[in-house]
Amino acid sequence: MPWDRNQMAARAAKELHDGYYVNLGIGIPTLVANHIPDGVEVTLQSENGMLGIGPFPYEGEEDPDLINAGKQTISELPSTSYFGSSDSFAMIRGGHIDLTVLGAMEVAENGDIANWMIPGKMIKGMGGAMDLVAGVKKIIVVMDHCAKDGSPKFIPNCTLPLTGTNVVDMIITDLCVFQRTDHDSQFRLIELAPNVNAEDVAAKTTAQYGVAV
């Protein structure tokens, strides 16, 4: 059966390594913080000016001044530090963040990503996704395999406005995991969710990819 949101986040968390500085995007990626493997210490960074993000607070213990980039209440750690947006984006643009986990509306077979707007729909702003895909060392996308209308989201070419070109390293969906070794190689299907087979994935994917399972 397909993975649920927490299982997708847990699979993404397996890509974290000890000592990493990690940025988590809005939506499913925020759940990755709940699944960091035992023995692995990572520092979570938020582009709104926080390094060292603690777990989500218990009900009644929220501090409205402590939020992540998605405006969810979070907690601080003894090692937490705060800074302005200029310093935050200097970390991102300077290549000091090891990995980011982002959501997406579309990913193309060449690694392009569209995740910041749908033309005609009101948005709050561009956010930091364009800086993240340009400045972070490894880009993991976590998304449903298909849109609400059933159309594939891993496709030959993005149709929505691009966030970045040829940047995505790994795609984790509710059905499977795609990965490529470098930005000149093809994505390969490397893992399937329980009771999902390669034919199920192929039927819901229009992008070209290799198979390694």
Nearest to 32 by CA among 70, 87, 77, 88: 70
Geometric angle at alpha carbon 6, from 44 and 38, rounded to 5°:
55
Sequence-distant (≥ 6) Cβ neighbours of residue 45 within 8 angstroms = 21, 22, 23, 51, 53, 88, 91, 92, 97
Helical H segments across 47-188, by residue range? 85-93, 129-135
Contact status, residue 33 vs residue 6, Cβ threshold 8 Å? no
| Candidates 15, 47, 106, 109; catalytic one | 47
In which order are the strands placed within the sheet that holds 50-53? Answer: 76-82, 50-53, 43-46, 21-24, 99-102, 138-142, 170-172, 176-179, 188-192, 210-211
Helical H segments across 14-124, by residue range? 85-93
Q: Which residues pair with 76 in a beta bridge?
A: 53
Q: Which residues pair with 176 in a beta bridge?
A: 192
The reply to whether 47 belongs to the active site is yes
The Cα 116–Cα 27 span in angstroms is: 13
Instruction: List the catalytic residues.
Output: 47
